[in-house]
Amino acid sequence: MKQQLENIRSQALAALEQASTPAALEELRVKLLGKKGELTAVLKQMGKLSAEERPVMGQLANSVRAAIEETLEKRKTEISAAVLEAKLESEAIDVTIPGDVVPLGHQHPMNMVLQEVKDIFVGLGYQIVDGPEVELADYNFTRLNIEEGHPSRDRSDTFYFTDDDSVLLRTQTSPMQIRVMENAKPPICILAPGRVFRKDEADATHSPMFHQIEGLVVDEHITMGDLKGALITLMKRLYGEDLEVRFRPHHFPFTEPSCEMDMQCHKCHGTGEVGGQVCSTCHGEGWIELLGAGMVHPKVLEGCGIDPEKYSGFAFGLGLERMAMGRLKINDLRLIFDNDTRFLNQF
Ligand code: DAH
């Protein structure tokens, strides 16, 4: 029996050293120590031994069991460490490999300029408002003091939806003046950017869809001086403090008096020529037209329930594309709408 036990010990320890997976270890544990295992089988023979031999064999059997258990534990630890090691090896992430570049877009250049303009006016206390592109002729023309038969109402200039010419695509953002004034009491201080539509053929300076930014300020004691202050502030912030501007008298049905604002041409610095040639940017004018503006006509105020004896206001409307072209030195309007990424990526 002693030999049997010694054999079990030496074979068991060798087998345990050989085992390389947790499953193999478990199989060995059952085979060696389980109820039907080899050691149990030997211990069952103990009854046949003499009284002197029994404790000796018992002790030996215990030491064999202890040796097996100890080795089993040791191998368990070793094997799980090896398994972890292999896993770490196979799942290793090389954080130094460069990642895939995801091409990021950016804001359209026209929207960049719109954002600049909005930021400037928000800083001056203006509220940004939005309104419909499908508009009533009543708001787009009539209530702006643009009477029936005015050339801008012509079917050749305006997209109408109905035979009676009562619904249209707005031709200007000025109807936002009416929409704001009929719903709010002064003081009013708003900026309304948006799309406008006219039956124009697309060329370097025209497009059937373009963007305007309308401004409106109504309160007691508003003067032309306030209008000039706001617009000069805008232009100097956009184009720099050195910018020269001028106001020219003009006519708009919904403002009285009305004016247009020009800035000195940045290409020829007001001389109208570059190297003996007529300046291509301002066509020899020396000035570039920026916007229309004026003091809100008393009839327009009255039509919105605002007392023109008590309140006065100024309004202005500027073309966003023209502003962006000047600001970003773009020479053809169509580039803004083509969405050619070779163009857009320059900004
Ligand atoms: N709506 C005018 C246009 O499209 C521009 C304009 C002129 C707007 C004078 C105004 C203004 O608010 O006061 O030509």
Encode the chain (347 residues) as per-residue pLDDT tens digits.
788 888 888 888 888 888 888 888 888 888 888 888 888 888 888 888 888 888 888 888 888 888 888 988 998 898 899 889 988 888 888 889 998 999 888 999 999 999 999 999 999 999 999 999 999 999 999 999 999 999 999 999 999 999 999 999 999 999 999 999 999 999 999 999 999 999 999 888 889 999 999 999 999 999 999 999 999 999 999 999 999 999 999 999 999 999 999 999 888 889 999 999 999 888 899 998 999 999 999 999 999 999 999 999 999 999 999 889 888 888 888 999 999 999 999 99
The rounded distance, in Å, linking the Cα atoms of 331 and 337 is 13
User: Ligand 1 test: best mutation among 140, 146, 174, most atoms within 8 Å of CB?
Assistant: 174
Beta strand extents in 163-202 (DSSP E only): 167-169, 188-197
Atom of ligand 1 nearest to the CA of 216: 12
The rounded distance, in Å, linking the Cα atoms of 179 and 135 is 11
Tell me the CA–centroid distance for residue 254 and ligand 1, in Å.
8
Task: Please tell me the residue having the least CA distance from ligand 1 atom 2.
Answer: 317
Tell me the CA–centroid distance for residue 238 and ligand 1, in Å.
20
Whether 117 contacts 238, CB under 8 Å: yes
Tell me the CA–centroid distance for residue 214 and ligand 1, in Å.
8
Whether 69 contacts 32, CB under 8 Å: no
Tell me the CA–centroid distance for residue 294 and ligand 1, in Å.
8
Whether 290 contacts 318, CB under 8 Å: yes
Task: Please tell me the residue having the least CA distance from ligand 1 atom 3.
Answer: 172
The candidate with the shortest Cα–Cα distance to 113, out of 21, 206, 193, 20, is 193
Residue 93 confidence (pLDDT): 87
Task: Please tell me the residue having the least CA distance from ligand 1 atom 14.
Answer: 292
Atom of ligand 1 nearest to the CA of 214: 12
Tokens representing 234 are 């805008």
Residue 254 confidence (pLDDT): 98
pTM of the model as a whole: 0.72
Residue 49 confidence (pLDDT): 82
The rounded distance, in Å, linking the Cα atoms of 53 and 46 is 9
Whether 336 contacts 319, CB under 8 Å: no
The candidate with the shortest Cα–Cα distance to 315, out of 340, 337, 291, is 291
Tell me the CA–centroid distance for residue 107 and ligand 1, in Å.
27
Whether 307 contacts 301, CB under 8 Å: yes
Atom of ligand 1 nearest to the CA of 294: 13
Atom of ligand 1 nearest to the CA of 174: 1
Residue list, ligand 1 pocket, CB within 6 Å: 172, 174, 214, 252, 255, 258, 292-294, 315-317
The rounded distance, in Å, linking the Cα atoms of 138 and 148 is 10
User: Ligand 1 test: best mutation among 252, 260, 300, 322, most atoms within 8 Å of CB?
Assistant: 252
Residue 33 confidence (pLDDT): 83
Tell me the CA–centroid distance for residue 119 and ligand 1, in Å.
21
Residue 64 confidence (pLDDT): 86
Q: How many helices (H) and strands (E) does the chain have?
A: 12, 11
Give the three-class secondary structure for 278. strand
The rounded distance, in Å, linking the Cα atoms of 189 and 214 is 11
Q: How far is CA 66 from each of CA 62, 77, 222, 240, rounded to the nearest angstrom?
A: 6, 17, 102, 91
Tell me the CA–centroid distance for residue 316 and ligand 1, in Å.
6
